[in-house]
């Protein structure tokens, strides 16, 4: 049967649209017709100044709820997400049908004036609301102050330019994609500032049900699949799953391929940066990524990770 164009759902942020277009162009190159549908999510509304977080919203999946509704109602065929914004478990009616090759997974130091985190003056202010980044940065620089800077990448860069903070810490992938890497002066090694599980990777989500349309969609996106990326992010997300977290927990996990298999590093930091638990391990090509992540999480737990995660949250400056 002749198929209608593949409808791709995306949030309206510049980064989300870049990512959706990136997938759309590749599908067109492969001979498919595509359309992009912009969908506004709770997470987008929460980034507006003055937005009050409604009761019962816990931060997990706030960027995907309305997009999954569009999938369920058949308004879109495919959703393109930043993998790190997806909860570790999806509702059974959805699946991640493809994980393309990952971009730069690292966090970066963004600053016009200073060249690295260690050259920032005493008590400098870093603009980030991420509990993970705050905890990890405090572990490196206990004198740092933080400013509540949220919103899309350009909004954050504008606040930096206006002097609302001295530096930002952001995901390399987002800045690279939008060509905003001009003030990126340092890409943190994952053993220093360990990225969020899945950072830098995309996830192509669709309905799990099998019918003629979903088979067509799954087959059309098959060529995006990058097995090394899938292994790495599955292992990373398994760590988060065991520790019970979403993107708001100070948990970093990073897995990468080596010549023998995979190397994994994970880090849990007390919210005040005082204590850090680190685990490093290697696995062979034939290992199971979920088991690898679960093993790493078990090691973190044995060393007291869960106790750290309930520690006091640092005061805002």
What positions carry a catalytic annotation? Answer: 85
34 touches ligand PBG by CB under 6 A:
no
Using CB under 6 A, which of the segments 64-72, 169-177, 179-187, 211-219 binds ligand PBG? 169-177
Instruction: Kindly tell me which of 172 and 270 has the beta carbon lying closer to ligand PBG.
Output: 172
250 touching ligand PBG, by CB under 6 A: no
Task: Kindly state whether residue 186 participates in binding ligand PBG, applying the rule CB under 6 A.
Answer: no
Nearer to ligand PBG, 99 or 170 (CB): 170
**Nearest-angstrom CA–CA distance, 314 and 225:** 40
- Decide: is 137 part of the binding site for ligand PBG (CB under 6 A): no
Distance CA 300, CA 297 (A): 5
Please tell me what DSSP assigns to residue 181: G
Beta bridge partners of 94: 207
Task: Catalogue the long-range contacts made by 59-62 (C-beta closer than 8 Å, 24 or more residues apart).
Answer: 59/246, 59/247, 59/248, 60/87, 60/246, 61/86, 61/87, 61/246
142-150, 170-178, 252-260, 269-277 -> range binding ligand PBG (CB under 6 A): 170-178
Select the span of 118-126, 167-175, 179-187, 218-226 touching ligand PBG (CB under 6 A): 167-175
* Strand, coil or helix: 275: coil
- How many residues touch ligand PBG under the rule CB under 6 A: the total is 9
**Is the Cβ–Cβ distance between 253 and 296 less than 8 Å?**
yes
| DSSP characters over 226-250 | -HHHHHHHHHHHHHHHHHT--TTSS
Of the listed pieces 50-58, 171-179, 249-257, 292-300, which binds ligand PBG according to CB under 6 A?
171-179
**Whole-angstrom distance, CA of residue 136 vs CA of residue 140:** 7
- Candidates 41, 82, 232, 267; binder of ligand PBG (CB under 6 A) is 82
* Residue 84 touching ligand PBG (CB under 6 A): yes
Q: Annotate each residue in 192-231 with x if it binds ligand PBG (CB under 6 A) or - if it does not, as one string.
A: -------xx-------------------------------
Q: Of 20, 98, 135, 170, which lies in the binding site for ligand PBG, with binding defined by CB under 6 A?
A: 170
Q: Among 100, 174, 245, 273, indicate the residue that binds ligand PBG (CB under 6 A).
A: 174
Which one of residues 97, 173, 266, 296 is an interface residue with ligand PBG (CB under 6 A)? 173
Coil, helix or strand at residue 251: strand
**N- to C-terminal Cα distance for the chain?**
60
Tell how strand 107-110 and strand 251-257 pair up. unpaired
Report d(CA 32, CA 54) in Å as an integer.
Answer: 40
**134 near ligand PBG, judged by CB under 6 A:** no
Residues making contact with ligand PBG (CB under 6 A): 82, 84-85, 170-171, 173-174, 199-200
């Amino acid at each position: 049967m002749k198929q209608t164009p593949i409808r791709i759902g995306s949030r309206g942020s510049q980064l989300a649209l870049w990512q959706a277009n990136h997938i759309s162009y590749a599908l067109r190159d492969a001979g498919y017709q595509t359309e992009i549908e912009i969908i506004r999510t709770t997470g987008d509304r929460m980034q507006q100044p003055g937005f009050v977080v409604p009761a019962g919203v816990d931060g997990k999946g706030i960027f995907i709820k309305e997009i999954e509704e569009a999938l369920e109602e058949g308004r879109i065929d495919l959703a393109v997400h930043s993998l790190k914004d997806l909860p570790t478990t999806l509702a059974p009616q959805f699946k991640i049908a493809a994980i393309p090759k990952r971009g730069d997974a690292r966090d970066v130091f963004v600053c016009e004036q200073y060249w690295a985190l260690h050259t920032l003056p005493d008590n400098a202010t870093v603009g980030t609301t991420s509990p993970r980044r705050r905890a990890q940065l405090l572990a490196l620089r206990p004198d740092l102050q933080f400013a509540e800077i949220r919103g899309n990448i350009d909004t954050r860069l504008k606040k930096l330019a206006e002097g609302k903070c001295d530096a930002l810490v952001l995901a390399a992938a987002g800045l690279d994609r939008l060509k905003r890497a001009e003030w990126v002066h340092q890409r943190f090694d994952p053993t220093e500032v360990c990225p969020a599980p899945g950072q830098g990777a995309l996830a192509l989500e669709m309905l799990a049900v099998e019918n003629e349309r979903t088979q067509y969609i799954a087959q059309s996106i098959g060529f995006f699949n990058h097995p090394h990326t899938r292994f790495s992010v599955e292992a990373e997300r398994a760590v988060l799953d065991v520790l019970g977290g979403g993107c708001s927990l100070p948990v970093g996990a990073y897995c990468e391929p080596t010549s023998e298999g995979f190397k994994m590093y994970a880090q849990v930091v007390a919210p005040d940066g005082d204590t850090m638990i680190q685990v490093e391990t290697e696995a062979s090509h034939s290992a199971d990524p979920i088991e690898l992540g679960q093993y790493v999480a078990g090691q973190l737990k044995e060393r007291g990770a869960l106790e750290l995660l309930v520690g006091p949250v640092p005061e805002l400056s």
